[in-house]
Chain A
Amino acid sequence: MKITDLLNKNAIQLNGSFKNKEEAIDRLIELMTSNGNISDKEKYRQVVLKREEEGTTGIGEGIAIPHGKTNAVTKPGLSAIIVPNGVEFNSLDGKPAKILFLIAAPDSKDNVHLDVLSRLSTLLMDTEFKNTLLDAKTPEEFLMCIDRAEKEKLDENKNTNDSYEILAITACPTGIAHTYMAAEALEKKGEQLGHKVKVETHGSSGVKNKFTKEEIEKAKAIIIAADTKIDLSRFDGKKLVKARVADGINKPQELIKNALSNNAPIYHSENKQENNSEEKEGIGRSIYKHLMNGVTHMLPFVVGGGILIAIAFLLDDYSINPSNFGMNTPIAAFFKTIGGAAFNVMLYILAGYIAMSIADRPGLAVGFVGGILAVQGTTFASLTDSTITLVSSGFLGALIAGFVGGYIVILLKKICSYLPDSIEGIKTILLYPVFGILLIGIFMLLINPYVAGINTAINNYLSSMGTANKVLLGAILGGMMAVDLGGPINKAAYTFGTGMLASGQYEIMAAVMAGGMVPPLAIAVLATIFPKKIEKKDKQAAYVNYIMGLSFISEGAIPFASSDPLRTIPAFVIGSAVTGALSMVFNCTLMAPHGGIFVIATIGNPLMYLLAILIGTIVSALIMAKLKKNLPEYESQTA
């Protein structure tokens, strides 16, 4: 029963104005009769009014749905009035009603009016829909709004026939044969049993036949037949059966039966992450995701290596041989060598995992090799002429290698998709690696001379930069850390800082980390010094921000920023920029890209570093104290 079948344009009035509820209801009934479905108007009116006496139908939020079910109604119908200035309806929330719908239902057992009520409520829950109704200029427009909303919201049941009953994932460690055998077995058995099964294969050539969000939503159960780790977070709240990939091949019937039985366990994931499907992501978002996959995997190498190297410098004696600083004493050499081993591969890892994020497993090797070539700086000229000094393309080269490597593999996959499926195994184990590495090799050797030039230029510029420019850079990077607190802008500054570590520029990382520590610290200080600016229920969280800030977890400030962004974000940015600039002024250096206060021993000029953070924090807290008003809860109540 569609709402638009029950409501005609003559039963809609858009500019109602009434003294009281009774007057409004009378007018609604008047409109209702235009549907030609009321045999006894007075009797229907009595029923509607009696229903109002039992309890108001003004359900709040400006909506009233009076109704009457009686044999004076020949067939179900609706009438509607918009009252721009509202009419008193004794509503549950005490507010006047602006949208009035009157329902007429015949006295039958089939509960039409419950259906109509349910459909109306579903639509009216959407504030935007409510507003379009209020803004409608003509009854026709009013009807069109409803029609559109009904199609969007309530017609989804039509598609259920096309959706899959069961979704299954198959995967095996090598990802060449078993994955696909299990997939075939499950699909075939499902067909025999009359259940529609879709299988997503996680093979060595990556994920194929990926489920959409919608498919997951509509599926009754999930089967995981895999011997490798599968991310299950997108199946939160679904019936889910786990088994070995061999079970998928040998006992598909049992798996399907178990999954559909009522005893199948419901899967709950601890951290529900938004896993948007690839095709819907914007370019910026997907580049960011690939870059972050690289950075995430690179970080442990940088943190571990950086801190060990810093310890080496800490323990070494500069006076023995300044040009060999860090390796002068055996103990220093020990730390520096181990740390160096980790440091040396960080850019390979970055390139490899960026490529892997783009092209799945086949991308890793291609990106990795591209990264090595970028770091070595090999060029075509250098191949035959050993007198040429190699210049590394550094961080920039590794980034390019990662992205280009990934897309080379994507391209290869496209080309290879024209080859027969029977050689699927050959593709991943032979074709992608050989041609992928060959192509990235050619590419890197071609671009290395230029990228190395740019990289060197950046390094030279940074090393020779005057104080004024350094301060400006520190302020910009520090500020960027605070703009979105862990979002893309923050990560861009952070990635730049880590990348510069690879080039031996340690001051930039220091400014970046200091800037990132300020926002949570500022919130904590604000809560301590100006307690009336922070809601009571958030106090505890605010104090925890001391620890967050000292640990360099900028994200701690997010809840406070999101509840009042206009007053907090500018304060964060200014405070962080001040700290970043001061860190540069004080020539602080940092070799570890994370760790906050816990790596203070490895920071160059630690006391001034703390001072820089302190000043920025106080600046930020004072700005917030000025911008934020004292909360009313402290004025009115004391408990």
Chain B
Amino acid sequence: MKMKVKKVILKNESGIHARPASEIVKIASKYQSTINLIANGKQINAKSILNIMSAGIKSSSEIEIQCDGIDEEMAIQELETAFNNNFGEQ
């Protein structure tokens, strides 16, 4: 099975709370690819905000982004950028 996989470290202090979660959903929903985040040993559907928030991902967690589909390349890049920019936070 081929898919794009990238690992990122969550840097923003407050973890993935509601606002970053909705950012992720906004980005992920633009793409047709299946997009999952793997964090704390859980697989999270990046297109479901409840799913993301329920994982309660804390600062400095390691997160694996998995994109699978025709636009996987673009999807993974935009998500990676968003993570690296700390979703515009500290």
Contact = CB atoms under 8 A, between A and B. Distances in A.
Interface of A: 51, 54-57, 59-61, 63, 65, 67, 69, 92, 109, 111, 113-115, 117-122, 124-125
Nearest to B16: A114
Contacts of B55: 118
Given A92-B22, A92-B25, A114 B50 contact: no
Nearest to A55: B19
B14 A124 contact: no
Given A111-B14, A111-B15, A118 B50 contact: no
A549 B26 CA distance: 44
A177 to B, nearest CB: 39
Interface string B17-40: 111011101100000000000000
B56 interface: yes
A65 B56 contact: no
B25 A117 contact: no
B53 interface: yes
Given A92-B22, A111-B58, A115-B56, A121 B17 contact: no
A92 B19 CA distance: 11
Interface residues of B, number: 23
B15 A114 contact: yes
Contacts of A125: 48, 50-51, 54
A118 B53 CA distance: 5
Q: Which has the most chain B C-beta neighbours within 10 Å: A57, A92, A118, A119?
A: A118
A119 B54 CA distance: 6
A109 to B, nearest CB: 8
Contact of A114 (B14, B23, B25, B48): B14
A59 B54 contact: no
Given A92-B22, A114-B58, A121 B15 contact: no
Contacts of B51: 121, 125
A238 B17 CA distance: 30
A357 B62 CA distance: 46
Given A65-B18, A109-B13, A111-B14, 13 more contacts: A59-B21, A61-B50, A63-B50, A111-B59, A114-B15, A115-B56, A117-B18, A118-B56, A119-B56, A121-B50, A121-B54, A125-B50, A125-B51
Interface of B: 13-19, 21-23, 25-26, 48-56, 58-59
A433 B51 CA distance: 55
Contacts of B25: 92
A114 B49 contact: no
A61 B53 CA distance: 14
A124 B15 CA distance: 20
Given A118-B55, A125-B54, A54 B17 contact: no
B64 to A, nearest CB: 14
A117 B17 contact: yes
A118 B54 CA distance: 4
A186 B48 CA distance: 43
B49 A117 contact: no
Nearest to A56: B22
Contact of B54 (A54, A111, A122): A122
A118 B26 CA distance: 19
Contacts of A115: 56
Minimum-distance CB pairs A-B, first 10: A118-B56, A121-B54, A121-B53, A122-B54, A114-B15, A125-B50, A121-B50, A59-B49, A117-B53, A55-B19
